[in-house]
Amino acid sequence: MKTKKFLVFLYTLVLCTGCVQQGFPALEPSRTLIARQTPLISNPPTSTNFPISTVTPVLLHPSPTPIFDVVIDNVTIGRQGQIYASGFGTSGDDVRHYAQWNSTKWSALGDGFQTAGNTLTVDSAGHLYTETLTNSAQGQATAIMRWDGTRWEDITGNFSKVIDALKVERISSNIPVLALAVDGEDNLYAAGVFYYPTADHTGEIPMGYVAKWNQKNWTIVGQGFDRLNVFNFVVSAAGEGYISGEQPYTPEGNSGYLAKWDGERWTQLTTGELITAQIMAVEKSGRLYAYSQSNIIAYWNGTHWTTIADQLGGEAPAVYDMAVDEDGQLCIGGSFESVNGIPARHIACWNGGAWHAIREGTNERVNALAFGPGGDLFAVGFFTEAGGLSTYHVARWDGEIWHVLGP
């Protein structure tokens, strides 16, 4: 991935995914997502005992809403339980739509954007953040948007100037954002990569970056990552950030890159068997989980990686998202039929000792996951069934049964 083709591929992939939506019942009181027999520990046991719920699912037959009637490809949930999603409809306008679930139906957040990325995050006040591409005199450029409850506002501000400073005399034409994240103090982080020409102008070199918005201005986090394609960025509530990417210009060819931000400096982490970390998630204690293209899932304990999965079954298996609950339990969603030999259709969870399916899982790929403040797990994707229930690409697991969104 040595040129802009990498970035174009990512944006093409983003814009080609869609989601249909369904209704979520209001969040219920906190309950354990999956029965946990062992806590998260560095050397987890191998017990595979797992109680399966015998509760009969409540059959609901939702109907699609005008906002999402094709596919939902991302979901995020605020600290007070605000549920936001993005996806596409069948109108043929190629507009990415955004909506909030209000316990009975989806409410549109504006009219959507003609070209938009696939990153969603929310702060403690319930403000939703996303990134879009806009046309300008210099070509396409990134706009970072915030939904304030009634309208979208552009908070891009001095973002381009801050990123331009990483390369002398560079003027922005397009600085794509590939990841947005919010820490415990509501600082917003944006990570991505731009390209600059080689000395002979025959090629281009990637420059990765992370920037932080303190609700007023953007500042650069560190001095950027020369010759690095950025894939992902996550941050803990305490402000510890992790970046993953790939270095395309090394003697060995492309090589993975991981680094941690401690508030003052970046420290590179060994990648171990991960090769390249494509998906990451961080729990409140700061433990980092990562998934590699090599179908390895591992966590970083501060000094080394511990592998918890190295086999995904199915046709072209892959993980598309991870989420960690308040108790440190990890759940993954994607396109797979088993994890480490344990049958699990497109969604599975690790309780610190073993992988477990969530009942019958889903009938097709899961694109994104998010935990609500009560511990319920929300999943969106291409699936039309969850736990045997008919659903329009979105479902909620309450720890015992699957629920679909109402009409």
> DSSP of 83-110, one letter per residue?
EEEEEE-SSSS--BEEEEE-SSSEEE-T
Checking if the pLDDT of 53 tops 70, the result is: no
Nearest one of 400, 403, 357, 363 to 385, comparing CA atoms: 363
What's the burial of 169, exposed, middle or buried (CB within 10 Å: 0-12/13-18/19+)?
A: exposed
Strands 128-136 and 121-122: antiparallel
Question: Can you tell me the distance from the alpha carbon of 323 to that of 345, in angstroms, rounded to the nearest whole number?
Answer: 17
- Type and span of the H or E element at 289: strand 288-292
Lowest mean pLDDT among 44-58, 290-304, 318-332, 338-352: 44-58
- Region 143-152: mean pLDDT is 93
- Do residues 103 and 52 make contact, with C-beta atoms less than 8 angstroms apart? no
Q: Once rounded to an integer, what is the mean pLDDT over residues 113-134? A: 88
Q: How is domain 1-17+118-269 classified at the CATH fold level?
A: Neuraminidase (2.120.10)
Share of the chain above pLDDT 70, in %: 78
What pTM did the predictor assign? 0.82
Taking the C-alpha atoms of residue 405 and residue 21, their distance in angstroms, rounded to an integer, is 8
pLDDT of residue 188: 98
Asked whether the CA dihedral 358, 340, 330, 242 is positive or negative, the reply is negative
Give the model's pLDDT for residue 254: 74
Instruction: State yes or no: pLDDT of 268 exceeds 60.
Output: yes
How far are the Cα atoms of 2, 123, 150 from residue 153, in angstroms, in the given order? 34, 15, 10
Name the residue among 298, 304, 261 with its Cα closest to residue 281.
298
Q: What is the mean pLDDT of residues 148-165?
A: 92
Where is pLDDT greater, at 344 or 95? Answer: 344
Return d(Cα 90, Cα 65) in angstroms, integer.
11
Whether the CB-CB separation of 78 and 122 falls below 8 Å is answered with yes
Amino acid at 226: D
Round to whole Å and give the CA distance between 111 and 186. 26
Average pLDDT of span 250-263 = 84
Strands 83-88 vs 97-101: parallel, antiparallel or unpaired: antiparallel
Q: What is the pLDDT of residue 90?
A: 64
For residue 172, the model assigns a pLDDT of 62
- pLDDT surpassing 70 at residue 78: yes
Question: Burial, 283: exposed, middle or buried (Cβ in 10 Å; 0-12, 13-18, 19+)?
Answer: buried
Beta bridge partners of 300: 288, 305
Comparing 19-33, 88-102, 223-237, the range with the smallest average pLDDT is 19-33
What gap in Å lies between CA 157 and CA 138, rounded to an integer? 17
In contact, 381 and 362? CB cutoff 8 Å:
yes
What pLDDT does 274 receive?
83
Q: Which one is predicted more confidently, 36 or 225?
A: 225
What is the average pLDDT score of the chain?
81
Q: With pLDDT > 90 as the criterion, what percentage of the chain qualifies?
A: 53
Taking the C-alpha atoms of residue 10 and residue 193, their distance in angstroms, rounded to an integer, is: 12
Confidence of residue 95 (pLDDT cuts 50, 70, 90): confident
Q: Grade residue 45 by pLDDT with cuts at 50, 70 and 90.
A: very low
Domain ranges of the chain: 1-17+118-269, 21-110+314-396
Question: Is 21 a residue whose pLDDT tops 50?
Answer: no
Summarize the confidence of residues 36-48 as an average pLDDT.
32
The pLDDT of residue 30 is 35
- Contact of 229 with 249, CB cutoff 8 Å: no
* pLDDT tens-digit readout, 275-289: 889 999 999 888 999
- Whether the pLDDT of residue 54 is over 70: the answer is no
Mean pLDDT of 365-393: 92
Query: What is the mean pLDDT of the segment spanning 122-151?
Result: 85
- How many residues appear in the chain? 407
Query: Is the pLDDT higher at 345 or at 133?
Result: 345
Tell me what the mean pLDDT of segment 33-52 comes to. 33
Least confident among 35-39, 209-213, 255-259, 282-286: 35-39
Burial class (CB in 10 A: 0-12, 13-18, 19+), 126: middle
Q: Which of 396, 397, 78, 70 is nearest to 405 (CA)?
A: 396
pLDDT of residue 12: 39
47 vs 348 pLDDT, higher one: 348
pLDDT at 407: 46
> If you average pLDDT over residues 219-229, what whole number do you get?
94
- Here the tokens at position 182 are 């919010």
